[in-house]
């Protein structure tokens, strides 16, 4: 051994020299993939896999994957998830390895990847009838998933009529005579199909048309500038109307979405800023053009605007039926709270029911006989939710006497409140203060109330009645009261029921014909006479009727324009 400068050198055997420290070799890029991540507008990610090479003589402390746009992620694993990518953008990746000496050169560039998901859930922005067999559906999608939407599919309920389109405006044909439909929509791109929309919150009404009225007219409630009873339908002006509601007073929304009232003015119920001036022809309420729906109670009026706000006015009478958290009366519309998600309303004697767009059911007013459905007989002066369910769909037309019904989205019918004539349809005359299901049927579609009489139409087009049958109001050829639903005839082409306040009823068929029966002392059946009938009789010969609403002792109908 020779020692040189303090360094021992073995001259007699092999010598081993450790390599100098160096940076790792670049990894070799492997597969790049992403997973379907249907989260609306959220960004997405890619999983980048690579193969490590020589670590430079030291252990690698980390690997880094970097996209061509500068987004990077670091890990010790050989598959790294890079988050923050945008669906529809194209990316490539490189990888580097780092040890204590430094960082390798970049790897080779990966294959190209473009993350795409299925579209976000569509939104139905509008749905409206064009005529009695067609509806226009407009759809918006906030996120196409990063790739062009290739089509939309709309499905109706009932009947499951389907239409496909490559545009977001779909005309759906083959509808059944102005039936009431709701719609669901899906969107698809090349990856797949979106989740389905919730059911549209538009129960499509028939198209606007000309208004006709008939029956008792002592207060001018027919609206034809007269106070003489009318035993035949008479046209009310030349405007077209969207909907009508009435008791001894009448409310209506014209096709321009203006609000009008006429008839008996009790406690400011006409909304004309006066308490006792009857009107024998329609007079506009205010000047707004955003009214959507109305409902007339015995002493108060309720309306919903197109923005989903709720408004009431009329005589409170200490019942809280206006829902304004007081017992004051008002002769012009007052907003109930500040919410914008009210969908449908049903004003009654001294109480009001409403459904919100989230499917919840609410009530307020006089709690007599449990008519508010709150499990008690307490009165409430502001809206109070009935239970906690979110599947309520349809409320009745007509101002009933201290009882209520409602239909759920599953087609079941529920009733509660006063039950002296069996009007709850539960097979007895017991009052109930919370909703009770009427039978087990799941095909109820529309319902109307009179003075203890109920009419309802099922999805199969059959017509049913129960409750008070004075003067043949149920329409089954006798005057016996019934406490459970009885089918009226055997026809399957009934469309819309309409009850009057005093033992008379009307209904429309899908062929556009109008029918009436029951008590008829004022010509309130529109048959040109004052004869009572205990089974349906056709009103005239026209087949252009599109809607019907019963009032106190008469009816209003809308005919196609």
Torsion of Cα atoms, 317 then 320 then 325 then 326, to 10° = 20
3-state DSSP assignment of residue 472: helix
The two three-digit tokens of residue 135, written as one number: 């509806």
Same domain, yes or no: 136 and 89: no
Backbone φ and ψ for 370, nearest 5 degrees, come out as: 80, 20
Q: Which residues of 338-363 are buried (b: 16+ CB within 10 A; e: fewer)?
A: eeeebbbbbbbbbbbbbbbeebbbbb
Q: Is residue 91 domain-shared with residue 131, that is, in the same domain? A: no
Q: Give the C-alpha separation, 223 to 464, whole Å.
A: 31
Q: How many CA atoms lie within 13 A of 463 on its CB side?
A: 26
Q: What is the total count of domains within the chain?
A: 3
Whether residues 184 and 214 fall in one domain:
no
Question: Do residue 224 and residue 372 come from a single domain?
Answer: yes
Assess if residue 193 is contained within a domain.
no
β-bridge pairing 7-9 and 2-4: antiparallel
Structure-token pair, residue 64? 């880094």
Residues 401 and 447 in one domain: yes
Answer yes or no: are the C-beta atoms of 374 and 433 closer than 8 Å.
yes
Query: Which of 225, 333, 283, 242 lies closest to 556, judged by CA?
Result: 242
174 in the same domain as 216: no
Nearest of 427, 455, 485 to residue 555 by alpha carbon: 455
CB burial class (10 A; 0-12, 13-18, 19+) of residue 516? buried
Could you read off the pLDDT tens digit of each residue along the chain, which spans 561 residues? 444 444 445 556 566 666 678 999 999 999 998 876 545 445 688 999 999 999 998 899 999 999 999 999 999 999 999 998 988 899 999 999 999 999 999 999 999 998 888 888 888 877 776 665 778 888 888 888 888 999 999 988 767 788 899 998 888 887 764 455 678 889 998 888 888 776 664 444 556 789 999 999 998 999 999 999 999 999 999 899 988 998 888 999 998 999 999 999 888 899 997 767 899 999 999 999 999 999 999 889 999 998 889 999 999 888 999 999 999 999 999 999 999 889 899 998 899 999 998 899 999 999 999 999 999 999 999 999 999 999 999 999 986 779 999 999 899 999 999 999 999 999 999 999 999 999 999 999 999 998 889 999 998 999 999 999 999 999 999 999 999 999 999 999 999 999 988 899 999 999 999 999 999 999 999 999 999 999 999 999 999 998 999 888 889 999 986
Q: What is the CATH number of the domain that holds 527?
A: 2.130.10.30
Q: What is the domain range of residue 17?
A: 2-98
Give me the phi and psi of 470, to 5 degrees please: -60, 135
428 in a domain, yes or no?
Answer: yes
Asked if the structure places residue 494 within a domain, the reply is yes
The domain that holds 22 is classified in CATH as 2.60.40
117 falls within a domain: no
Name the token pair of 329. 């009366």
Answer yes or no: are the C-beta atoms of 484 and 537 closer than 8 Å.
no
Q: CA-CA distance, 297 to 301, in Å (whole number)?
A: 6
Cβ-proximal residues to 293 (8 Å cutoff; 6+ apart), any chain: 243, 253, 303, 304, 344, 345
CATH label of the domain that carries residue 172: 2.60.40.10
Contact, 403 vs 454, CB < 8 A?
Answer: no
DSSP letters spanning 359-384 = S-EEEEE--GGGTT-SSS---EEEEE
Other CB atoms within a 10 A radius of the CB of residue 1 amount to 8
Return the pLDDT at 464: 98
User: How far is 305 from 339, CA to CA, in rounded Å?
Assistant: 11
Q: What is the pLDDT of residue 198?
A: 62
Tell me, yes or no, whether 436 and 534 share the same domain.
yes
Q: Do residues 279 and 408 both lie within one domain? A: yes
Q: Is residue 468 part of a domain?
A: yes
pLDDT of residue 44: 81
Same-domain pairing of 228 and 265: yes
């Amino acid at each position: 051994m020779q020692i040189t400068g303090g360094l021992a050198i073995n001259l007699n055997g092999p010598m081993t020299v450790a390599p100098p420290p160096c940076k790792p070799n670049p990894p070799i890029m492997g597969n790049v993939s992403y997973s379907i991540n249907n989260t609306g507008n959220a960004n997405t990610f890619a999983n980048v896999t690579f193969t490590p090479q020589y670590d430079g003589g030291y252990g690698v402390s980390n690997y880094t994957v970097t996209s061509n746009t500068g987004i990077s992620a670091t890990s010790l694993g050989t598959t790294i998830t890079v988050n923050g990518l945008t669906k529809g953008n194209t990316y490539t990746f490189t990888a580097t390895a780092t040890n204590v000496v430094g960082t390798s050169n970049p790897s080779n560039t990966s294959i190209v990847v473009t993350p795409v998901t299925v579209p976000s859930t569509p939104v139905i922005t509008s749905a409206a009838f064009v005529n009695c067999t067609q509806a226009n559906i407009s759809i918006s999608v906030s996120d196409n998933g990063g790739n062009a939407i290739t089509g939309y599919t709309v499905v109706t309920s009932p009947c499951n009529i389907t239409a496909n389109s490559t545009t977001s405006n779909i005309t759906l044909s083959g509808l059944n005579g102005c039936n009431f439909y709701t719609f669901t929509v899906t969107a698809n791109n090349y990856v797949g199909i979106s989740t389905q929309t919730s059911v549209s919150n538009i129960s499509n009404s028939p198209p606007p048309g000309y208004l006709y009225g008939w029956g008792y007219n002592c207060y001018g409630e027919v609206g034809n500038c007269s106070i003489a009873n009318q035993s035949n339908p008479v046209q009310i002006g030349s405007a077209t109307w969207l909907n009508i509601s009435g008791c001894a007073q009448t409310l209506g929304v014209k096709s321009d979405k203006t609000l009008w009232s006429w008839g008996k003015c009790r406690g400011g119920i006409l909304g004309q800023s006066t308490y006792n001036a009857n009107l024998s022809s329609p007079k506009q309420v205010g000047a707004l053009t955003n009214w959507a729906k109305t409902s007339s109670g015995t002493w108060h009026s309720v309306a919903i605007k197109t923005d989903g706000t709720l408004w009431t006015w009329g005589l409170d009478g200490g019942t809280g039926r206006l829902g304004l958290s007081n017992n004051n009366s008002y002769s012009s519309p007052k907003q109930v709270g500040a919410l914008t998600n009210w969908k449908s309303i049903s004003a009654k004697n001294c109480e009001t029911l409403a459904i919100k767009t989230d499917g919840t059911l609410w009530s307020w007013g006089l709690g007599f006989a449990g008519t508010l459905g709150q499990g008690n007989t307490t009165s409430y002066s502001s809206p109070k939710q009935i239970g906690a369910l979110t599947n309520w769909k349809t409320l009745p037309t007509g101002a009933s006497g201290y009882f209520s019904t409602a239909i759920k989205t599953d087609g079941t019918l529920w009733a509660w409140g006063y039950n002296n004539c069996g009007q709850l349809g539960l097979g007895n005359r017991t009052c109930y203060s919370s909703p009770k299901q009427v039978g087990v049927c799941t095909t109820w579609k529309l319902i109307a109330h009179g003075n203890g009489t109920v009419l309802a139409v099922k999805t199969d087009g059959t017509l049913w009645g129960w409750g008070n049958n004075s003067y043949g109001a149920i329409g089954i050829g006798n005057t016996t009261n019934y406490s459970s639903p009885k089918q009226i005839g055997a026809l399957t082409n009934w469309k819309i029921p309409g009850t009057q306040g005093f033992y008379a009823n009307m209904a429309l068929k899908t062929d556009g014909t109008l029918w009436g029966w029951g008590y008829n002392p004022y010509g309130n059946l529109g048959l040109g006479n004052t004869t009572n009938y205990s089974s349906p009789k056709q009103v005239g010969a026209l087949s252009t009727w599109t809607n019907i609403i019963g009032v106190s002792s008469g009816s209003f109908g809308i005919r196609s324009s």
